[in-house]
Every structure is written in C-alpha cells, then in structure tokens.
Structure 1
Amino acid sequence: MRPPQPEWLIQHGLNRSNIDAVHTGDCWAAPKSGRCRPATREQALDALRGQVPASSVPCVPERAAGVIGDGG
C-alpha cells in the first residue's frame, strides 16, 4: 500500500538547502524527481511567509493555506 498523499509539498533546489516552491499535496506540477518533500501546514505557511514562491500552476497553495482570499 502507498502512504497517504501529503497535504503540502516543499520543493527543494538541487543542493537541498534552498527551498524553491510550495505546492499542495495534489499538485500535478510538483516535481516527481524526489525534489519535493512532504510538509505540514505550518511548514508550508512558514515558507510562504518567508517569501518562498508558491507553485506557479493552479494548485495555488497560498489560497489553500488561507494566506490569500479565494477571489470570490
């Protein structure tokens, strides 16, 4: 059996010390190469607050985390 899908993913750079982006756990554009690690909601929020860019595709992690409104 596969482990449950994480709610959040932190995408690391090639050297693993840089954080490149934050994704929701179901983001289809999150790299499958092992550069993403599961993260807690608090870790994702900390990264977004620290100016780590959110995923540039429709997963919109800052909206899911409640950092920005839903526009409606």
Structure 2
Amino acid sequence: MRPPPPEWLIQHGLSRMNVDAVHTEECWTAAASGRCRPATRQQAIEALRRQVPACVHCRPDTALGILD
C-alpha cells in the first residue's frame, strides 16, 4: 500500500541547494518540473516565511493562510 501523496511540495533549482518555489500537491507545474520534493505543512510555511516564492498557479500561500 502506498502512502498518501504529500499536500505540499518544494521545488528545487538545478542545484539542490536552491529552493525555487512552494506548491500544493495538485499543481500541474510542480509535476511538470520534476524537481519537487515532498514537504510537511510546517516546512512549506517556513519556506514561504523565508521569502521562497509561492507558485502563481496553485497559490500555496492562500491555501496555508499566509498572505502579505
């Protein structure tokens, strides 16, 4: 039995050290990039607080209730 899909994804750049964006599990751009890793809710919130951009398509900042 497979574990449930992660609710949040963090997209890394070509270097694993660079974090490019935060996505929701349903984001089509995250699936297309192939550079996303699963993240917990807390990791997604922390990334957004550290100024990692939220995906403009799936808007994880809105889903998490973090708005500027």
Q: TM-score, normalised by structure 2?
A: 0.87
Q: Displacement of 1:31 after TM fit? A: 4.0
Q: Percent identity?
A: 66
Stretches of 4+ moved more than 4 A in 1? none
- Deviation digits for residues 12-52 of structure 1 (CA, Å, limit 9, x no counterpart): 01010010000001111114453100000000000000000
| Structure 1 gaps, min length 5 | none
1:39–1:13 CA distance, 2 compared to 1 (3 A): same
- What is the number of residues matched between the two proteins? 68
Q: Kindly indicate which of the two structures has a greater share of residues assigned to helix.
A: 2
Structure (1 or 2) with the larger CA radius of gyration: 1
Q: Which residue of 2 is the match for residue 15 of structure 1?
A: 15
Runs (5+) with no aligned partner, structure 2: none
Tell me which residue corresponds to 1:37.
37
Q: Is the 8 A contact 1:13 1:35 kept in 2?
A: yes
AA in 1 matched with 2:12: H
